[in-house]
Amino acid sequence: MSTPPPYLVPSRAAKRTHYEHETISAILDEALFCTISYAVDNKPFSIPTAFVRYEDKIYIHGSVGSHFIRTIETGIQVCISVMLTDALVVAKSAFSHSVNYRSVIIFSKAEKIEDIETKRAAFEWLTNKIVPDSWDYLRPMTDSEVRKTTALAFSFDEASAKMRDGMPKDEPEDQELPIWSGLIPLQTLRGKPVADESSQNIPLPQHLS
């Protein structure tokens, strides 16, 4: 993106903003969920959902009967946001507390995927992102299930990333205070799988171990 539109330029901490495709893609690939915001009849809506990036688009899915899906598939403007939190930044004053984070904001419009094979591919990409290497292990989706599910794609040509890292930035007069300051790291971890009643005697597959 050579010259970003005004709505992608932050009003504060502009030096933390990045527009490179590689930077944006890396954040999108790590995040499991996004929030899609839009307005209808002057009423705001904001819906969290799983997503996957493939090449230069992100994909979501939902029931063909979903009010959310049926609204945004018409091509109205949406704002898609993603945030990864890496650490709480604990300063010597509450005013200087912060967060180390990586975020992406996208302005886009939905493209409804009509081709059946592309829809299946999108579902495979999303399934393998949420539970890696699980698509080929699972019972295949039926044609009826594919028809009952809508796949939407969004270009992220109009997108920006914003990040913060590093230690607290206390005021000079606070730095000598006998108050602890530093970072509290945050992590999102996948725990040990727990079988339901129907799977008590089924070995845990390799992709879940």
The tens digit of pLDDT for each residue in 144-154 reads 999 999 999 99
- Beta-strand relationship, 57-63 and 98-112: unpaired
CA quadruple 6, 19, 46, 188: dihedral sign: negative
Using CA atoms, how far apart are residues 32 and 47, in angstroms rounded to an integer?
A: 14
Domain residues of the chain, as ranges?
Answer: 10-166+178-185
Element housing 17 (H / E): strand 17-18
Kindly state the average pLDDT of the residues 181-205.
96
Query: What's the pLDDT tens digit per position in 49-86?
Result: 999 999 999 999 999 999 999 999 999 999 999 999 99
In which band, very low, low, confident or very high, does the pLDDT at 15 lie, cut at 50, 70 and 90?
Answer: confident
Query: What's the pLDDT tens digit per position in 88-100?
Result: 999 999 999 999 9
Contact 51, 125 (CB under 8 A): no
Fold of 10-166+178-185: Pnp Oxidase; Chain A (2.30.110)
pTM of the predicted model, to two decimals? 0.90
Q: What is the mean pLDDT of the chain?
A: 94
Phi, psi (rounded to 5 degrees) for 116: -65, -40
What residues contact 64, with CB distance under 8 A and at least 6 apart?
70, 147, 148, 149, 150
